[in-house]
Amino acid sequence: MKAQPESYSSLVDADQGIVSREVFVNQEVFEQEIARIFARAWLFVGHESLIPNPDDYFVSRMGMDSVILTRDRQGNIHVLLNSCMHRGMKLCRHDQGNARALTCPYHGWSYSTDGQLVETPGELVGVPGLATHYHGQLDKKAWGLVRCPNVVNYKGTIWASWDKEAPPFLDYLGDMKHYLDAALDHRDGREGGSEVFGGVQKWRVKCNWKFAPENFIGDMYHDISHRSVDLVGIGPSVGKGRRDASRRRMTIGFPGLGHGLLGQLPHTAEDDYVPLYTKHPEVEAYFREIHAARVRNLGDRMRVQTSVGTIFPNMSFHGRQPRTIAVFHPISPTEMEMWRFYLVDKDAPQAVKDATRHYYLRYSGPAGMTESDDLENWSYATEASKAPLARQYAYNYQMGLGHAQPIEGLRGAVQSGDVSEENQRIFYSRWADFMAGKSWADLIPG
Ligand code: FES
Ligand code: FE
């Protein structure tokens, strides 16, 4: 089947729980995703702790585009397209660094974000041979770097959208905010208390990018994949057996927004704490104390402990210790680049940082034992889906169809049992809305 542009949204039938494989393997569908989703949606581009000082930069991605996240001399954060306006050369070729001006290695044009020097961040300030070769006739103001019009610092995380009409970030997030906060306001609701530590891990996976956010939005069903890891025991406590087997869980989804999470059922007692670091009493005491502070300060709703969640389209996170952020950058229909950011309290004792870092290394990233299970599933599923015959058969997302329940006090949210595909249906329904080119008024109603 060849997907037609006008019918992209019909590749998803969320009501029936059916999603065409073209959504995962088709080049034209992929190009439309870049234009209709990644050029409009709010995207996670980095964390403020990666650029703590003036003139620091961190190279990130928004869809297929390379962007520069940078802090100016006045402390403001900007997102600029990482492409010189002369012949398109990639300006920043290092992953991160510090530069007073962004100077192009090809012919030497340079750009500045210094508010003392320029009115518009990214303005062209230096052109070799301006007086001689250009005869003083180049309009420098017209050739500054392309600047992303919408940039928000939300509790240390930086988000951006290319769409001038995009709604405020908090409207885009809706009440999913409460669960993202679990990862960001880890201590007790104070802002800016976390930092990305140990660098950002980046690697490529031969799979469609959507396999990852649809997994993190609440795919408890795939736990069988991690059975061998659970038997070996790599958790923070180094304990063996099924992870959190005794815990009751549920998925919470936001049908109008495309976000969702897998969480522990609401807690009612302050001491309802999941012991994680039983082999490290000092670390365990730290996390127990923080849990108690959060229960006190953040109220009942936050007592749903987020295990994992997804912000549509391509950012996911672990909401409780150990906390991470993952981003899935589209490269082609059958390849993505995955980035992992590891979060820790800035002022945590060294023993906490060490224990957390060790756990991250065992669990996450291309060499992490749990993460590598998932990477295998996604890449083999993509490979097996792209051949001419196989791609004619849709994927099944029918688990728990019609069994979601509204949640009192939580705007636009529904809950399902711990094992359900409701959240995946919510994700692909949102995907279809964006692919249909709906207006923001329809995407974020009043
Ligand atoms: Fe950048 Fe020519 S491409 S100065
Ligand atoms: Fe997994």
The ligand that comes nearest to the alpha carbon of residue 129 is 1
Question: 263 and 128 share a domain?
Answer: no
Report if residue 90 sits inside a domain. yes
**pLDDT for the residue numbered 438:** 95
The residue whose CA is least distant from atom 4 of ligand 1 is 107
Report if residue 314 sits inside a domain. yes
For 194-228, write each residue's pLDDT tens digit: 889 888 999 999 999 999 999 999 998 998 898 88
Report if residue 208 sits inside a domain. yes
**pLDDT for the residue numbered 268:** 45
206 CA distance to ligand 2 centroid (A)? Answer: 17
Residues whose CB falls within 8 Å of the CB of residue 124, separated by 6 or more in sequence, listed in order: 85, 109, 110, 111, 140, 141, 143, 144, 145
Domain, as residue range, for 114:
44-150
Question: 127 and 51 share a domain?
Answer: yes
Q: Are 314 and 434 spatial neighbours (Cβ–Cβ below 8 Å)?
A: no
- pLDDT band with cut points at 50, 70 and 90 for residue 277: confident
Question: 129 and 186 share a domain?
Answer: no
Token pair, residue 205, equals: 């996976």
- pLDDT band with cut points at 50, 70 and 90 for residue 5: low
Percent of the chain residues topping a pLDDT of 90: 65
Question: 331 and 394 share a domain?
Answer: yes
What's this model's pTM, rounded to 2 decimal places?
0.94
Domain boundary among 106, 135, 150: 150
Predicted ipTM > 0.90: yes
Return the best residue to mutate from 85, 103, 109 for the ligand 1 pocket (most ligand atoms within 8 A of CB): 109
Report if residue 327 sits inside a domain. yes
- From CA 402, how far away is CA 431, in angstroms rounded? 20
Residue 238 above 60 pLDDT?
A: no
Question: 191 and 324 share a domain?
Answer: yes
Question: 79 and 184 share a domain?
Answer: no
Report if residue 311 sits inside a domain. yes
Rank 341-350, 399-408, 427-436 by mean pLDDT and report only the highest. Answer: 427-436
Question: 63 and 198 share a domain?
Answer: no
- pLDDT band with cut points at 50, 70 and 90 for residue 269: very low
- From CA 393, how far away is CA 320, in angstroms rounded? 37
**pLDDT for the residue numbered 365:** 87
Return the best residue to mutate from 107, 125, 127, 134 for the ligand 1 pocket (most ligand atoms within 8 A of CB): 107
Report if residue 261 sits inside a domain. yes
104 CA distance to ligand 1 centroid (A)? Answer: 6
Give just the sign of the alpha carbon dihedral 205, 207, 212, 213.
positive
Beta bridge partners of 336: 205, 330
Return the best residue to mutate from 68, 86, 124, 146 for the ligand 1 pocket (most ligand atoms within 8 A of CB): 86
Q: Which range (2-6, 144-148, 280-284, 338-342) has the least confidence?
A: 2-6
Report if residue 31 sits inside a domain. no
The ligand that comes nearest to the alpha carbon of residue 373 is 2
Q: Which atom of ligand 1 is nearest to the CA of 88?
A: 3
Q: Which atom of ligand 1 is nearest to the CA of 84?
A: 1
Instruction: Note residues around ion ligand 2 (Cβ under 5 angstroms).
Output: 374
- Specify the number of domains making up the chain: 2
Question: 356 and 216 share a domain?
Answer: yes
Question: 272 and 410 share a domain?
Answer: yes
Half-sphere exposure of 419 (CA within 13 A, CB side): 6
Query: 132: domain CATH number?
Result: 2.102.10.10
Question: 142 and 181 share a domain?
Answer: no
The ligand that comes nearest to the alpha carbon of residue 145 is 1
Residues whose CB falls within 8 Å of the CB of residue 50, separated by 6 or more in sequence, listed in order: 56, 58, 69, 96, 196, 200
The residue whose CA is least distant from atom 3 of ligand 1 is 87
Give just the sign of the alpha carbon dihedral 160, 165, 169, 173.
negative
Query: 380: domain CATH number?
Result: 3.90.380.10
Residue 15 above 70 pLDDT?
A: yes
Question: 145 and 263 share a domain?
Answer: no
375 CA distance to ligand 2 centroid (A)? Answer: 9
Question: 133 and 239 share a domain?
Answer: no
Residue/partner pairs of 119-123 with CB below 8 Å, 24 or more apart: 120/144, 120/147, 121/72, 121/76, 121/78, 121/80, 121/147, 122/78, 122/80, 122/146, 122/147
The ligand that comes nearest to the alpha carbon of residue 230 is 2
Q: Which range (77-86, 172-181, 380-389) has the least confidence?
A: 172-181
Report if residue 162 sits inside a domain. no
Return the best residue to mutate from 104, 124, 125 for the ligand 1 pocket (most ligand atoms within 8 A of CB): 104
Pocket lining for ligand 1, CB < 6 angstroms = 84, 86-87, 89, 104, 106-109
